[in-house]
Structure 1
Amino acid sequence: MEIITAVCGCKELTEQNLVIAVKRERLGFLEEWGSFTWLGVIASLIVTGGTWIFFILGFHAGDILNPKYMCNQCRTTILPVQFRIPGYSNPKDVERETYVDEELPKTETSFDALPLYSKKSVALEPNETLDRKTIETSKVKILLLIIIAFGFVALGASFLSLDPAEIASRRRFNSPLLIHGIGVVSVGFFSLCAIAGIWKLFSSGPGLALSSKGIEIFGIRSNTLVPWIDVSGFSVYEMQSQKMLIVKLRNPKKYIEADSSFRRFMAETNYKMCGSPISVSANSLKISFKELCELFEQYFERYTENT
């Protein structure tokens, strides 16, 4: 086990304990391949016949190519932070070095900008910080949703294939216009749902992120950032046993008017139905609905104390 030095938030943020020693946690055989990671990934794709097995088993390219570290005390996963040096525009040009504790440079930088020192550390995205909690999409959940969507598409297609005379001869639901209309709506709506699900299935981006900046929701064409100052609270909306976390906004019209015409229509519908244009579901995320609510409350209390 390799000893490295990293930043962790399990203690109070004082100068003495901002930096603590943690041990590297191996991520199975994939991480042990080291420099042969790409070769291993290619071999895995050939053997499995595609990336479906990765989705089903829960593997992600980020887990394979970006080693993670675990704190010995709070047992939370720590991601490496980009080590920036003035004068270097490209972080890849910076040669990383290993420091012993007494050689660690003194810093008065805020917690979310502190670096990790390790020869094998991998940089986060430029907008990542240590206070940022990213919730990945669940490929298994999305795959199930796609299957359900295709099921409704097939059901709608069966409605469209019914003969008008056969429909009219029934005692109930004997309106061909109504049955065929339901078929058209079902095929159209759930086809869009299936396309969106397929896009999310093959997308490498996360589904949701919480940080000091606010709530970042990753959509198909654009992302939505809701600053904490705009949030007044949360509520739970339940329909047909499906729960959604409603983000109550101080000025909902601001987010409705900022969208395109189609998204504006959807946001207005959501606002009239739930009381807010912003809602979050755990159906496609790697988190339970209860954990999602608790996480939102924690961040809301942390970053709205003085607002």
Structure 2
Amino acid sequence: MKKIEIYSSKKKSAPILIISLICFIGAVYILLTTNYSAITSIEKAILLKVLLSVISLFCGAGIYVSLKQLIKKKLFLIIDENGINVNPENSTSESIKWKNVESFSELKMHNQKMVLIEVNNPSYWIENESNYMRKKLIEFNLKNYGAPFVLSAISMDLNHDELLKVLYDNLGKFQHLT
């Protein structure tokens, strides 16, 4: 079987870049041009500065990530006869073997559909993850959603339904072989 590699989508990154740029420019403009002495309360002025600074940082991060994806496609998933490798560029962990995949389920949050990868050995993934942030993310996903791995097709080069179809097709093909 040929391995399936799923990359980031440049088409989906462009709108994120545009929205992030508009919000960033707007927040910085308001931050720099507001007459804070005209605000009646010092607390309100400080709150406004903090809020605009946070918005600027968040949108700046959006600009950075979307530019990075526009310049170079990011590899999100590798699917082959051995299993699923989630985020192979940034992960030192191994693939999720098909024999360990229980099922896939959908999570809908704020009109965004996500795919949960339910495994029969979630504690294994927590114990063997060496990256602290990724380990905490796996723990958070397991605690809140019941699965250690959550995938969103929002910035992938395929949509949610196509992602689910690819995952289910390969689970059906290879789960009984391992």
Same fold? TM cut 0.5: yes
Quote the Cα distance in structure 1 between the aligned partners of 2:171 and 2:147. 17
CA contact (8 A) 1:216 1:223 kept: no
Aligned-pair identity in percent equals: 24
Once the two structures are superposed, the pairs formed by residues 230-245 of structure 1 within 5 Å of their partners are 230-245=100-115
Once the two structures are superposed, the pairs formed by residues 124-273 of structure 1 within 5 Å of their partners are 130=2, 132-158=3-29, 160-161=31-32, 162-166=34-38, 168=40, 175-204=44-73, 206-218=75-87, 221-222=90-91, 225-257=95-127, 258-273=129-144
Quote the Cα distance in structure 1 between the aligned partners of 2:176 and 2:111. 33
Higher strand share: 2
CA-CA distance at 1:141 after TM superposition: 0.9
CA contact (8 A) 2:77 2:88 kept: no
Any idea what the Cα deviations from partners look like across 1:148-185, whole Å, max 9, x if unmatched?
2333433543564445455556xxxx834443333333
2:145 counterpart (268, 271, 274): 274
**Letter matched to residue 305 of structure 1:** H
CA-CA distance at 1:209 after TM superposition: 2.1
CA-based RMSD of the aligned residues comes to 3.0
Any idea what the Cα deviations from partners look like across 1:62-110, whole Å, max 9, x if unmatched?
xxxxxxxxxxxxxxxxxxxxxxxxxxxxxxxxxxxxxxxxxxxxxxxxx
Larger RCO: Structure 1 or Structure 2 (Cα < 8 Å, ≥ 6 residues apart)? 2
Distance change (3 Å), C-alpha of 1:150 and 1:222: farther
Point out the structure with max Rg over C-alpha.
1
Query: Aligned with 2:176: secondary structure?
Result: coil
Q: Number of residue pairs matched? A: 174
Runs of 5+ unmatched residues, structure 1: 1-111, 113-129
Distance change (3 Å), C-alpha of 1:189 and 1:301: same
Higher helix share: 2
Distance change (3 Å), C-alpha of 1:256 and 1:305: same
